[in-house]
Structure 1
Amino acid sequence: MENQEIIMGIIIHGGNARSSAMRAIAEAKNGNFEAAEKLMEESKAELNKAHRVQTDLIQAESRGEKTEISLLMVHAQDHFMNAMTVRELSVEIIELIKKL
């Protein structure tokens, strides 16, 4: 797979993870905790996919295969980290909504 396609995988899966987590909050706000849980599971699965792509890039670099640092790569890493943060916060927000 070409480098740009690999990087786009991180962006796509990170974006999907973030979107699922945000939709989970909306479902929880409406009292649909079962739907929220399903969306959080989807979010976790998407994050795992993005993480696998990132790990493959890191392992390739550790074998001496250089990865070009481009604006697209930086954007992908930003997307991934943002998705991780949103998902972690979503877990806490949904728990707070449940307590209300």
Structure 2
Amino acid sequence: MLDLEEAVMGIIVNAGQSRSLCFEALRHARTGMFTKADGLLAAAIEAGKEAHAVQTKLIEEDEGEGKTKMTLIMVHAQDHLMTSILCRELVTELIEIYRRQAM
């Protein structure tokens, strides 16, 4: 059984790291540093996977039965995760636009 507080912090920290790495990748792409941007985006994907893995464990333990106590911090963690996923998707598209403009 996961410690709920530890799990929630795992989601928040990893999702936040993913989002930060996405924006750092975007800054590098803007200046034409695509290799660096791609590396940062890859790191962002890995951090996102870590956050998603924690979320998946919580869902599995809940078994759709409401076993996991829903708190404001849990909602906050889910918000961080979903925002980081959206950020990664948008930043990936923006980097591709910068890459095409640089050709």
Partner of 1:36: 37
Partner of 1:27: 28
1:15 aligns with 2:13: no
Paired residues in the alignment total 100
Alignment of 1:43-58 (within 5 A): 43-58=44-59
Query: What letter matches 1:52 in structure 2?
Result: A
Give deviations 1:57-94, integer Å, cap 9, x for gaps: 00000185711100100000000000000000011000
Q: So what's the TM-score if we normalise by structure 2?
A: 0.93
1:2 to partner: Cα distance: 2.0
For residues 65 and 45 of structure 1, the distance between their equivalents in structure 2, rounded to whole angstroms, comes to 29
Q: What is the DSSP-based 3-state SS (H/G/I as helix, E as strand, rest coil) of the residue aligned with 1:55?
A: helix
Could you tell me which runs of 5 or more consecutive residues in structure 1 were left unpaired when the two chains were aligned: none
1:31 to partner: Cα distance: 0.7
CA RMSD of aligned residues (A): 1.2
Q: So what's the TM-score if we normalise by structure 1?
A: 0.96
For residues 77 and 65 of structure 1, the distance between their equivalents in structure 2, rounded to whole angstroms, comes to 16
Could you tell me which runs of 5 or more consecutive residues in structure 2 were left unpaired when the two chains were aligned: none
Indicate the larger mover: 60-69 or 8-17. Answer: 60-69
Moved beyond 2 Å, runs of 4+: none
Q: What is the DSSP-based 3-state SS (H/G/I as helix, E as strand, rest coil) of the residue aligned with 2:67?
A: coil
Q: What is the DSSP-based 3-state SS (H/G/I as helix, E as strand, rest coil) of the residue aligned with 1:97?
A: helix
Partner of 1:83: 84
Indicate the larger mover: 41-50 or 59-68. Answer: 59-68
1:99 to partner: Cα distance: 1.2
